[in-house]
Amino acid sequence: MASPSWLSAGKLVLASNNKGKIAEFEHLFEHLNLAVQVIPQGQLNIEDAVEDGLSFVENAIIKARHAARISGLPAIADDSGLCVPILGGAPGIYSARYAGEHGNDTANNEKLLRDLVPYREANKPIGGMFVCVLALVEHADDPLPKIFQGIWQGEILDAPRGEQGFGYDPLFWLPTLGISSAEMSKAEKNKISHRGQAMQALAKHLA
């Protein structure tokens, strides 16, 4: 059950300025019918935190504490990315800036495709997984952040497919469905995605 401070706040800062993530979170919170107002940190003029952790968990906590410290409100942060085992887990925590420029989806996708060329074999899929870690803090110095994780398994295509989503969605193939993540509607994606899984875990915690 949510703690008293969470319930009394009635507001939650979302520690992200990524439009794609914000849209997904807003849709998910609306679907889960959580009785809390979610405020993207940009509305409070909170800039992105410096993500200098070495894992998704560390970076999620860093971002949540940063937003909570400036806003004085409980905060939730998402750190997510694509991990490709054959590349040693890359792009991993550097997914958003894999090609050097933060948030350049096209460049990031092109770099991933180039990096995978030496590993491509006929009729042999290259596995990958989207990872999402949510960190929820009651306040900036919360000694016990709540952590919720989701992992979405799939394969990496050799060319983009689909116009939906963002990030690496056009390269993320779901063999059981026969479509890419970028060919799914938001509702379909939120039911099974890494972020959707983490959000469902969060919802169970708050229920």
Q: Which residues are known to be catalytic?
A: 79
Alpha carbons 32 and 11: distance in angstroms, whole number: 15
Return the structure tokens found at 127.
Answer: 């596995």
- Cβ neighbour number for residue 129 with a 10 Å cutoff: 18
Which residues have C-beta within 8 Å of that of residue 125, sequence separation ≥ 6? 155, 156, 173, 175
